[in-house]
Amino acid sequence: MENKADIFDQLVMEFGSLKKLSEKMGVSYNCVYMWKARNKQIPLKNIPIIEQLSDGRITRQMMRPDKF
């Protein structure tokens, strides 16, 4: 099971940076950064977007094992 720090490391490896991820998602960098900085989970509404942007390499199960 992935922990929150691991998934953010994987997101950076996949997209290059959290800033690049935020740009691809069309949201502010601050929004994405706060998911990590506040040790919050990725909101469920964003899970399918990230999964699609990564062509399935980052799965919903990896991002939110508590829900999937």
Count of structural domains, the chain: 1
Structure token digits, residue 47: 């899970």
pTM of the model: 0.85
CATH number at residue 41: 1.10.260.40
Q: Do the domain assignments include residue 49?
A: yes
Mean pLDDT of 52-63: 96
Q: Do the domain assignments include residue 68?
A: no
59 or 40, higher pLDDT? 59
- What residue numbers bound the domain in which 35 lies? 4-63
pLDDT of residue 19: 96
